[in-house]
Amino acid sequence: MHIKVLGTGCAKCHSLLKNVKEAVADMKVDAVVEEVNDMKQIMHYPILMTPGLVIDEKLVSSGSVPNKDTLKTLINSALQGQKEG
Protein backbone atom coordinates (compact mmCIF):
# COMPACT_ATOMS: atom_id res chain seq x y z
CA MET A 1 0.00 0.00 0.00
CA HIS A 2 1.25 3.45 -0.90
CA ILE A 3 -0.20 6.47 0.89
CA LYS A 4 0.59 10.04 -0.13
CA VAL A 5 -0.15 13.20 1.80
CA LEU A 6 -0.37 16.07 -0.68
CA GLY A 7 0.35 19.54 0.61
CA THR A 8 2.54 22.57 0.72
CA GLY A 9 3.82 22.10 4.25
CA CYS A 10 1.02 23.89 6.09
CA ALA A 11 -0.08 22.99 9.62
CA LYS A 12 -3.05 20.94 8.30
CA CYS A 13 -0.71 19.00 6.02
CA HIS A 14 1.58 18.17 8.93
CA SER A 15 -1.41 17.12 11.06
CA LEU A 16 -2.68 14.82 8.32
CA LEU A 17 0.75 13.26 7.88
CA LYS A 18 0.99 12.65 11.64
CA ASN A 19 -2.52 11.13 11.77
CA VAL A 20 -1.80 8.87 8.79
CA LYS A 21 1.44 7.58 10.30
CA GLU A 22 -0.32 6.89 13.62
CA ALA A 23 -3.25 5.11 11.92
CA VAL A 24 -0.90 2.93 9.86
CA ALA A 25 1.12 2.07 12.98
CA ASP A 26 -2.04 1.30 15.00
CA MET A 27 -3.32 -0.99 12.24
CA LYS A 28 0.08 -2.63 11.62
CA VAL A 29 -0.44 -2.14 7.89
CA ASP A 30 2.46 -2.60 5.51
CA ALA A 31 2.39 0.82 3.88
CA VAL A 32 4.76 3.42 2.51
CA VAL A 33 3.70 6.88 3.68
CA GLU A 34 5.02 9.71 1.53
CA GLU A 35 4.71 13.47 1.84
CA VAL A 36 4.36 15.21 -1.54
CA ASN A 37 5.15 18.93 -1.52
CA ASP A 38 5.86 19.51 -5.22
CA MET A 39 2.95 21.38 -6.81
CA LYS A 40 3.55 19.75 -10.21
CA GLN A 41 3.11 16.32 -8.62
CA ILE A 42 0.11 17.47 -6.57
CA MET A 43 -1.61 18.77 -9.71
CA HIS A 44 -1.60 15.25 -11.18
CA TYR A 45 -4.53 14.54 -8.84
CA PRO A 46 -8.04 16.07 -9.00
CA ILE A 47 -7.44 18.16 -5.87
CA LEU A 48 -8.81 21.65 -5.28
CA MET A 49 -7.60 22.17 -1.71
CA THR A 50 -4.77 20.79 0.37
CA PRO A 51 -4.15 18.70 2.26
CA GLY A 52 -4.97 15.77 0.06
CA LEU A 53 -4.81 12.07 0.81
CA VAL A 54 -4.04 9.52 -1.89
CA ILE A 55 -4.17 5.78 -1.22
CA ASP A 56 -2.80 3.56 -3.97
CA GLU A 57 -3.09 6.40 -6.49
CA LYS A 58 -6.73 7.15 -5.64
CA LEU A 59 -7.60 10.53 -4.11
CA VAL A 60 -9.74 9.76 -1.05
CA SER A 61 -9.75 13.10 0.79
CA SER A 62 -8.94 16.75 0.15
CA GLY A 63 -9.24 20.02 2.02
CA SER A 64 -9.61 18.47 5.46
CA VAL A 65 -7.74 16.56 8.15
CA PRO A 66 -9.60 13.29 8.80
CA ASN A 67 -9.22 11.90 12.31
CA LYS A 68 -7.50 8.58 12.92
CA ASP A 69 -10.76 6.59 12.98
CA THR A 70 -11.78 8.01 9.59
CA LEU A 71 -8.31 7.30 8.22
CA LYS A 72 -8.51 3.71 9.44
CA THR A 73 -11.84 3.34 7.61
CA LEU A 74 -10.31 4.75 4.40
CA ILE A 75 -7.30 2.43 4.71
CA ASN A 76 -9.53 -0.58 5.37
CA SER A 77 -11.61 0.26 2.30
CA ALA A 78 -8.46 0.40 0.20
CA LEU A 79 -7.30 -2.93 1.63
CA GLN A 80 -10.66 -4.50 0.77
CA GLY A 81 -10.34 -3.13 -2.76
CA GLN A 82 -6.93 -4.79 -3.07
CA LYS A 83 -8.37 -8.14 -2.01
CA GLU A 84 -11.27 -7.87 -4.46
CA GLY A 85 -9.09 -6.70 -7.35
Residue positions annotated with a catalytic role: 10, 13
How far apart are alpha carbons 67 and 52 in whole angstroms? 14
Judge contact between 73 and 19, C-beta under 8 A.
no
Query: Which residues are bridge partners to 55 per DSSP?
Result: 3, 58
